[in-house]
Amino acid sequence: MHALLIEMICPQHGLERFRIKVRRKFNMPKKAIMPKFRSRPKRELSCLLVGREVTSFEVEKFIAEYFQRNGTWDRIILIKTI
């Protein structure tokens, strides 16, 4: 797993697609998932840092919970691992 492809409905543009990179780190706890955010132009999720023993199912579950907390889960069409 290298990235997650996300398709969502955008009120301004219609359909929006973007990727969230998934980077496996060996110097962090085995089951940890840490989001990394962009600072500019606005605060967005750009990358997920994951431990050695994190599965793709756990990453997708984390992303789903993240979008539910932000209130954008109802606009998500597809979450696919690439």
Domain count, the chain: 1
| Per-residue pLDDT tens over the stretch 57-73 | 999 999 999 999 999 99
| pLDDT (0 to 100) of residue 41 | 82
pTM score, whole prediction: 0.87
Checking if the pLDDT of 16 tops 80, the result is yes
Checking if the pLDDT of 53 tops 80, the result is yes
Q: What are phi and psi of 48, to 5 degrees?
A: -120, 130
| Per-residue pLDDT tens over the stretch 22-49 | 999 999 999 999 999 988 887 889 999 9
| pLDDT (0 to 100) of residue 44 | 86
35 lies in which domain range? 3-81
Alpha-carbon span 82 to 28, nearest angstrom:
23
